[in-house]
Amino acid sequence: MKIQGSMENHNTKYKPMDFAIVDVFAEHPFQGNQLAVVKTDINLTGEQMMEVTREFGFSETTFIRNDDPVDQPVPVRIFGLNGEMKFAGHPSLGTASVIAKGKNIRSLTLKLGIGDIKVYIENPGDSQIFEMEQKNPEFRETHSKNDIAEALGISAVSMDPDLPVETVTTGNPFVIVPLRKLKDLAALKINMDTSWDYLKKHNAMHFYFISRETVSSSAAIHARMIYENGEDPATGSAAGPAAAYMLEHGIMESGKYGWIEQGIEIMRPSMIRVKGIIMDGSIGNIRVAGRCFPIAEGKLSVPP
């Protein structure tokens, strides 16, 4: 789909920029997590980038320069609806797919706020999979299930008795909360005020809710990420910590692929492929991958 448009307001000249919309971690178009990628050589201010991000209304929008060489790290700025972000998962893969379009390359490096992230490209052609390296995990805190239940406004009995609640990070810290039953995860409603206070107190970004019961037999876990602006169809920056958690607790084997299903409750089904290695008792080489589908291209403008 191509979207064309130009804007003129009396004598004010507007500056056109190219953009692309991509569905990330999708098995088919119109699934997964939506991303807008803006390509421009205009030196936009942070506030202008925020205005563009709010105009699209997706959870994140990224900004890259036109035709930066791919043989060196490509600078990428990521903006969410609440401001600029140093790292996010689906924006990294979605942006890599836009940069790689029409180029015969097997990998590229993104220059993000947390440093350089390598992205590998599998199956050049119509069914590409984009896979990113994430930083080695840190297991920061094990939480009391009673405290978590109180903060979320849920029953502690609904949590998996065999798995801990832990904060894990591979770039962004998530509190991973395992629930026993898929039906409990599907019906989940949380107290946003008290849960947000808990996250701030414990220096975590979001909760990532998981269950070993899944809809698809090919998935290792079912996941949800509910946040202050709604719910995320797919959360690549949480999938890395979840992969480390799965390895730590025997849900996934070292060196083997696992799949995380997410977004089903909000009609945006997503599949996230993860992998990691346990070597000498340490977990590393965390990889997060998925398919990206280009949905639209067009031009937008901002006032000078």
Torsion over CA of 86, 255, 72 and 105, rounded to 10 degrees? -120
Q: Check residues 94 and 102 and name the one with the higher pLDDT.
A: 94
Could you give the percent of the chain with pLDDT greater than 70?
94
Is the pLDDT at 70 greater than 50? The verdict is yes
CA proximity to 27, closest of 298, 286, 289: 289
Is the pLDDT at 179 greater than 50? The verdict is yes
How many whole angstroms separate alpha carbon 171 and alpha carbon 87? 7
Look at the block and give the residue holding tokens 């996941």.
223
23-62 tens-digit pLDDT:
999 999 999 999 999 999 988 999 999 999 999 999 999 9
Instruction: Give the architecture-level CATH label for domain 2-134+291-302.
Output: Roll (3.10)
Q: Check residues 118 and 125 and name the one with the higher pLDDT.
A: 118
The pLDDT assigned to 236 comes to 93
Single pTM value for the model: 0.90
274-299 tens-digit pLDDT:
999 999 999 999 999 999 999 999 99
Q: Per-domain residue ranges for the chain?
A: 2-134+291-302, 138-288
The pLDDT assigned to 102 comes to 87
Model confidence at 5, in pLDDT bands (50, 70, 90)? very low
Query: Hey, CA dihedral for 127, 276, 241, 148, is it positive or negative?
Result: positive
Model confidence at 16, in pLDDT bands (50, 70, 90)? confident
CATH number for the region 138-288 comes to 3.10.310.10
- Fold agreement between 2-134+291-302 and 138-288: yes
CA proximity to 134, closest of 279, 278, 284: 284
